[in-house]
Amino acid sequence: MNNNVVNIANQAGFATYYFAAEPSDEMNMTYSSMSKYNASNLPKSFKLGKISLANPYRDDMPILNYVRLALSDQEENRMILLHMLGHHPRVCKRLRGYPNYFKNLKHENMEGDWELNCYLSVTKKLDEFITDIHTQLKELNEPYALFYLSDHGVVFDMNSKGGAFIHHGTDYKSNYRVPYIVLTSDIQEHKIIEEYASGFDFLSNLLYYLGIETNIIQPKSIQEITTNNPEDIVVFDGEQLRPYLSLKNSPVEY
């Protein structure tokens, strides 16, 4: 429990902040980002506690105001953790008034409702969320690193009306295949890495960018954590480790 990103950053002299659209009583200690527990009790952290816990479709966008508060704080080194709801199931409700730019998109051999249209619009909304934070960071004229990743993926499945919907799961590759985006003040080119990386190596890569060394977790660059061989990747399904290649493909490919 002590070898998590919050405790390591605190010991290295970082002020740590935590902002979330998800209520703290939905805490899940099984996934790798155990910072959700530890950061919630730190003096420098904030939570969106004023948002009603009775509403499961909270909007991520208000978190941006809290990010501005943290960036205006006079701390030499800051680490800001954000936990968004984003693409959770019933994804059309995640738009929260944001336009569904893809509502008229048609899909071959599909009838009925198609949640992929909402999924694409929520992704566009997420792009704007990240862009806002990236703009704030650039305006500081200070070194920064911005990371985006997810603690789980989703799977598209067929519904009884011939459409498709998304849900959580543990048996499909898409339940674990998530994006990993890194933006830093000294990266000047857009580069797409078509390789595999394990979520178990995220903390090592984060420490690499933060410039932190420990006796337990060694910092590793992107080149050190990526591989062309998916046979090297294992996932944790909540109960046991499983080879990534042993998982099924999504019922609906997209």
Among the ranges given (135-144, 149-158, 224-233), the one the predictor scored with the smallest mean pLDDT: 149-158
* Tally of residues, the chain: 254
- For the purposes of burial, counting CB atoms within 10 Å of the CB of 91, is it exposed (0-12), middle (13-18) or buried (19 or more)? buried
pLDDT at 160 over 80: no
DSSP class of residue 245 equals G
DSSP 115-130: THHHHHHHHHHHHHHH
For residue 54, the model assigns a pLDDT of 40
Among the ranges given (6-10, 22-26, 212-216, 242-246), the one the predictor scored with the smallest mean pLDDT: 22-26
For residue 51, the model assigns a pLDDT of 37
For residue 43, the model assigns a pLDDT of 37
* Beta carbons of 174 and 194 less than 8 angstroms apart: no
| pLDDT top residue among 52 and 124 | 124
Instruction: Quickly tell me which residue has 């902002």 as its tokens.
Output: 19
For residue 33, the model assigns a pLDDT of 32
pLDDT at 111 over 60: no
| pLDDT top residue among 174 and 39 | 174
pLDDT digits (tens, 9 = 90+) for 22-51: 654 433 322 223 333 344 444 344 443 333
For residue 27, the model assigns a pLDDT of 36
pLDDT digits (tens, 9 = 90+) for 190-223: 999 999 999 999 999 999 999 998 888 899 999 9
| pLDDT top residue among 74 and 25 | 74
**% of residues, the chain, pLDDT over 90:** 36
Secondary structure of 187-232 as H, E, C letters: CCCCCCCCCEECHHHHHHHHHHHHCCCCCCCCCCCHHHHEECCHHH
Instruction: Quickly tell me which residue has 């978190």 as its tokens.
Output: 63
For residue 31, the model assigns a pLDDT of 26
| pTM recorded for the entire structure | 0.81
